[in-house]
Amino acid sequence: MAAAHRARRWSFGGLVLVLTTALVAAVLLSTTGSGAAPARAAALAQNWSDDFDGPAGAGVDGGKWTMETGGSGNGNHELQYYTGGNSNAALDGQGHLVITAKKNSDPGLNCWYGTCQYTSARLNTSRSFTQAYGHFESRIKIPRGQGVWPAFWMLGSDIGSVGWPNSGEIDVMENIGREPSTVHGTIHGPGYSGAGGLGAAYSLPAGQSFADAFHVFAVDWSPTAITWSVDGHTYETRTPADVGGNHWAFDHPFFLILNLAIGGDWPGSPDGSTAFPQTMVVDYVHVSTSNTNPPSYTGRITGIGGMCVDVAGGSNADGTPIQLHNCTGNPAQQWTVGGDGTVRALGKCLDVSGGSHADGAVVQLYTCNGTPAQQWTYTSAHDLTNTGANKCLDAKDNSSADGTRLQIWTCGGGANQKWNLG
């Protein structure tokens, strides 16, 4: 993550909004759950979506989104003024939301630095929807240009009472215009916020630009891990072990935010090469609760060629290899994928040998001990990711032959890293 990265801090107007709608937030919390009982994600909230259907020029659904307004700089010295209504955020009549950043023509519109140079839009679901855990996804075509800063992200719904960064922040996708091929996924919390946020970057191959096409940006969030993906390719996982003994601020409901900022400490200001208007086109936002680790799934796990994940020889001895095998239905192929992050068979855990983070480290059966080597996340992209190593369960040499040894490897999205439950 770039050292200059700053968090998408809550605007003053947005914080007032949360504080003045505390009763609404309390109702939401009562229906979406709290960190006190995180084990069953599906019980915490309903699924939610917006496909932005409606006539061209219409504003967003006010029952789903709240428009933020103001030009405070949001703690990052951003240059835009966020407007309400549909002047900077409108449907295009083709199933998209278009967020537009423009040069400002109103001399009476004031920002933190004087007359505002730009207008744009920022919208959130703080009044209408929050959720703890699940799959959060948006398909977006981002803009390009120096000083342009689009984002899809989330804030903890308790920000009005505990403040930022104690509320937690999950940046599903951020891009700064001078990096057209790269997006960033980051978490912020107490002791790891702002430039100290924990994140990673994902770059398109062969110099492709994110502005040239729509891409799907997602996180899978469970009680034990947050995993980021782009177009189904997993590129980062963060767990409570990563926060260095600080509070893991991701055990309660969050709300969604879409915005297009201009300027700020991280991207810098636009220059002569930056064209306006700039547009961030959002195809949809979907939230579900069915794509994180099931709390009680038991059955077979199949991979490349329809082969089953199997404990070699049906042995439950520590160190027994894990392999692919023809599906037989025997106990060596009966796995329990738990809400606690473990994957178990024959009374023991799927384990990365020696707790290694190296590509090619073999997986084995081992007595359950609660270490990161035994923590796994199953994502909507059908990756089974070891969160300790931030790598995917992988069939060696892309083989589907009987006896193929399973290992961990950098997630690449290949068929040898895709796993189906059932």
33 Cβ contact partners less than 8 Å away, ≥ 6 residues apart: 43, 44, 45, 132, 253
Are the C-beta atoms of residues 336 and 344 closer than 8 Å to each other?
yes
Give the Cα separation of 334 and 167 in Å (integer). Answer: 39
Across the chain, which distance is largest between two alpha carbons, in Å?
77
One-letter amino acid identity for 140? I
R_g of the chain, CA atoms, integer Å: 22
One-letter amino acid identity for 380? S
What's the token pair of residue 205? Answer: 């191959």
Are the C-beta atoms of residues 416 and 336 closer than 8 Å to each other?
no
292 Cβ contact partners less than 8 Å away, ≥ 6 residues apart: 41, 133, 134, 135, 220, 221, 222, 377, 378, 379
Give the Cα separation of 391 and 361 in Å (integer). Answer: 10
Give the CA dihedral 32, 36, 38, 41, nearest 10 degrees.
-10
The residues facing 320 across adjacent strands are 365
Give the Cα separation of 361 and 355 in Å (integer). Answer: 9
134 Cβ contact partners less than 8 Å away, ≥ 6 residues apart: 41, 44, 45, 47, 220, 221, 287, 288, 289, 290, 291, 292
Give the Cα separation of 338 and 352 in Å (integer). Answer: 17
Active site residue 174: yes
Annotated catalytic residue, options 68, 78, 137, 174: 174
Closest CA to 151 of 259, 34, 281: 259
Annotated catalytic residue, options 68, 78, 137, 169: 169
Are the C-beta atoms of residues 154 and 163 closer than 8 Å to each other?
no
**Does the bond joining 223 to the residue before it have cis omega, within 30 degrees of 0?**
no
Complete edge-to-edge strand list for the sheet that includes strand 406-409: 376-378, 384-386, 391-395, 406-409
Give catalytic residue positions: 169, 174
